[in-house]
Amino acid sequence: MLDHFAPLATPRLELRPIGRDLARSIAGGDVSALRTAPGWPQPGTVNGVRMALERGQPAGWLVILDDEVVGDCGVHAPVDEDGRVEIGYGLAEPFRGRGLGTELVSTVSGWLLDHPDVREVSARIERDNAASRRVLERADFEPLRAASPSDDLLTLVRRRPKA
């Protein structure tokens, strides 16, 4: 069971776990305790933090670049009985297209896959979101299965390497 998230780092980013007090502030729409970049928080951030609080699970990570919050990442639900967990992530618009998303997703999914209960990390994206698909593919995610062209969402997965 994932009951806490560790601080993580990439070559350019600090991934800081969101503590319960800060999560409550964010869920209430108050980010005044943080130095935030333009475009953060995104609409899904507050909802994601709120859902994590309701489930009693960690609220995720703040994505920090040059001492400024530029994004966030978290899990949608606890790890299921088959060892699967789904992540969600986002960067403020001015910080997209720089490879930061790939650093973020690669680091978080790698950390999750190192946890003994996790065998597979997934992410769902809108089918026409080519940028998010590139982020996931560069972070070693593969499409779960051939989805029909009428599906609006595409699921990609990264599995723990076989020993």
CATH of domain 8-121: 3.40.630.30
Report if pTM > 0.85. yes
How is the chain split into domains, by residue range? 8-121
Q: Write the pLDDT tens digit of every residue in 44-62.
A: 899 999 999 999 999 999 9
SS3 29: coil
- Average pLDDT of the segment spanning 122-130: 93
For residue 108, pLDDT over 60 is answered with yes
Per-residue confidence (pLDDT) for residue 93, from 0 to 100? 95
Question: Are 96 and 106 contacting, i.e. CB atoms less than 8 angstroms apart?
Answer: no
Of 118 and 4, more confident: 118
For residue 148, pLDDT over 90 is answered with no
Would you say how long the chain is, in residues?
163
Q: Could you tell me which residues are beta bridge partners of residue 16?
A: 62
